[in-house]
Structure 1
């Protein structure tokens, strides 16, 4: 089955597994999803992730979720730019929320990165999602 919004599917699977207190979640592989998993690990929202590729186009990402005293570290995920309504922001308009505890993920001309890094590099792009 073809997905119209694979990033929203990624976020929904992580959100559902986190609320169900699962140890890990398996997601179909793509370069974008692998980069999102890498950002989640760098920012401390997940413990680790593994990529198992069957070939160059197919594979699976296993994301190991992180918990703090039996409560999920990920409190919320929100898809901002959607296929029906893309949201592009300048570097000065990238949101900073929850006193810096929240992370905005931006797809720029130099790759997918965290909003703080995009602001430092002074580049804008498509605001993919926000995680807190």
Structure 2
């Protein structure tokens, strides 16, 4: 089955796994999905991400994301919202970067430097396509 938006599929899988209290979730492996997982790991929303390779996973492999919860099992994020979609791309300059939850959340962007969080974009002074926001 062809998948038209693998980024939205990854975000939905993470959102559903968090709602169910799952320890980990398997997503499709791609460069952008690995970058999103790395940005979420850098900001402290997930514990780790690793690529499981092999023929049993369909050639490209599977990106296994280990979710992170609070000390009493509470969720670390309440909204994981896709901003830029295949039909309507959203681009932003570094001075216009959103601040989800007044700086407590994080926005993830794909830039010429790579997939970065909004804090990293401000440090490196780059803008790009707004992929999603985490609140």
Tell me, yes or no, whether TM beats 0.5.
yes
CA RMSD in angstroms comes to: 1.3
Name which of 121, 127, 132 aligns with 1:129.
132
Q: TM-score, normalised by structure 2?
A: 0.91
Match of 2:107 in 1: 104
Which blocks of at least 5 consecutive residues in structure 1 are unaligned? none
State the alpha-carbon separation in 2 of the partners of residues 37 and 46 from structure 1. 8
Q: Residues 81-124 of structure 1: CA distance to partner in whole angstroms, max 9, x if unpaired? A: 00000001111111012132211111111111111221222221
Q: Which has the higher strand share?
A: 1
Matched, 1:7 2:7: yes
Name which of 55, 58, 61 aligns with 1:59.
61
Q: Residues 7-64 of structure 1: CA distance to partner in whole angstroms, max 9, x if unpaired? A: 1100000000000111110112111111111111111101112211227x61011111
Which blocks of at least 5 consecutive residues in structure 2 are unaligned? none
Match of 1:49 in 2: 49
Aligned length: 131
Q: TM-score, normalised by structure 1?
A: 0.93
User: Contact 2:38–2:49 (CA<8 Å) still a contact in 1?
Assistant: yes
State the alpha-carbon separation in 2 of the partners of residues 87 and 96 from structure 1. 15
Match of 1:88 in 2: 91
